[in-house]
Amino acid sequence: MAMTSAVPRELTGELRGFREVQRLAYDCAEAVAAQLGPGVTEREAARMQREWLRRRGVRDWFHLPFAWFGDRTAFAGFRVPLQFFPTGRRLEAGMPFILDMAPVHRGFTADIGYSGCLGPNPLHDRLMADLAEHRELILREVRERRPLREIYEDVDRLMVRQGHANRHRAYPFGVIAHKVGRVRERRWSPHVFGFGTQALKGLASDALHGHREGWSPLWSPYRFSDHPPRPGLWAVEPHLGFRGTGAKFEELLVVTDSRDPEESAFWLDDDLPHVRRTQEERAA
């Protein structure tokens, strides 16, 4: 269970690198979230994230920071991928928001999602509590080595039981997760449509290998995800929508080929804002 793995785990140097950049990204999210106030636009929030991370040495991205406010957190009325990009939507009191960023730092990639709310919103609290169940479900079933497509469907079923809509289906290929890896550091790191070319190259090469070997770096509801979890790092991003309110988390899941279930899969870091929040709620 996710809650029991709070014991600090000895990480290899590589995993430590990934954890550091994930921490950095979550620090950025918390710092930016603290600065958000009424009237701030999505574009401004995205720029704040970008500048905060650039000041700390981030030069390349898996994807550029996103920010969604209000009913855009539930991707209301999204039809084309361009709608994911930040708009001039202004934050108001009580509005939910999501910050999503994927910085590459010293060659390590993180991809995180941070959900928050400007002021109290009991519905948003409910969604965050419901997300915690998905975090546990995903880890449990990955450890059971269930095919990714089936896990996806179990997450779907849990969402239906909770009364939510599956909003990660709106992501490209409807993915709930995707693989991330190390990225070569280059002096020039261009991006197309918000995605870093280096990271895309990694994903494409994974996709090619996977295609030959019968797996995919994209964890989707489709047949190409009908295989057991593949060792590596997966950025898992279940996204709930309930009418005009959406919430997600995104963090790295480590999958290994160990036979010990505890070691076969674990969340890279259990000291993250949404995890602490759940622990506090359960302790209360």
Partner 1 sequence: MSENAGNGAGLKGARERRVRTGGVELCVAELGDASLPTVVLVHGYPDSKEVWSEVAERLRDRFHVVLYDVRGHGRSTAPKPLRGGFTLEKLTDDFLAVADAVSPDAPVHLVGHDWGSVQAWEFATVARTEGRIASFTSISGPSLDHMAMWFRKRAGRPTPRRVAQMLGQSARSWYVYALHTPGLPEAAWRGPLGKQWPKLIARLEKLPLSGYPTPSLPSDAAHGAWLYRDNIRARLRRPRTDAYAHAPVQLITPTGDAYLSERLYDDLEQWAPGLVRRNLAAKHWVPRTRPDQVAAWIAEFALARQEGPRAAETAPASPYARWFAGRLVLVTGAASGIGRATAFAFAEAGARVVAVDRDPGGVVRTAEMARLVGAPEAWGECTDVSDEAAMEKLAAKVAAEYGVVDVLVNNAGIAVAGSFMDTPAEDWRKVLDVNLWGVIHGCRLFGKQMAERGQGGHIVNTASAAAFQPSRSLPAYSTSKAAVLMLSECLRAELAGQGIGVSAICPGIVNTAITGAARFAGASEEEQQRLRTKAGRAYGRRNYPPEKVAEAVLRAVVRNQAVVPVTPEAHGLRFMSRFAPWAQRALARIEPPL
How close are the terminal C-alpha atoms of the chain, in Å?
19
Work out whether 161 is an interface residue with partner 1 (CB under 8 A). Answer: yes
Could you say whether residue 122 binds partner 1 (CB under 8 A)? yes
Query: Rule CB under 8 A: is residue 93 a binding residue for partner 1?
Result: no
Q: Measure the CA–CA gap between 42 and 44, rounded to whole angstroms.
A: 5
Considering CB under 8 A, how many residues would be counted as binding partner 1? 15
CA angle 97, 103, 109 (to 5 degrees): 120
Minimal distance in Å, beta carbon 222 to partner 1?
Answer: 10
> Which of 196, 202, 221, 229 touches partner 1 (CB under 8 A)?
221
Check binding of 123 to partner 1 (CB under 8 A).
yes
What are the start-end ranges of the E strands in the chain? 60-69, 96-105, 108-109, 112-117, 165-166, 177-180, 191-192, 195-196, 218-219, 232-236, 239-242, 245-248, 251-255, 265-267
* Interface stretch with partner 1, choices 19-27, 120-128, 203-211, 269-277 (CB under 8 A): 120-128
81, 119, 163, 172: residue in contact with partner 1 (rule CB under 8 A): 163
Among 43, 59, 126, 191, binds partner 1 (CB under 8 A): 126
User: For residues 20 and 241, what is the distance between their CA atoms, to the nearest angstrom?
Assistant: 30
Binding flag, residue 165, partner 1 (CB under 8 A)? yes
For partner 1, give the closer residue by CB, 121 or 189. Answer: 121
| Strand intervals (E) in 156-273 | 165-166, 177-180, 191-192, 195-196, 218-219, 232-236, 239-242, 245-248, 251-255, 265-267
Give the shortest CB-135-to-partner 1 separation in angstroms.
Answer: 19
Task: Summarize as ranges the residues that interact with partner 1 (CB under 8 A).
Answer: 122-123, 126, 153, 156-157, 160-163, 165, 169, 221, 242-243
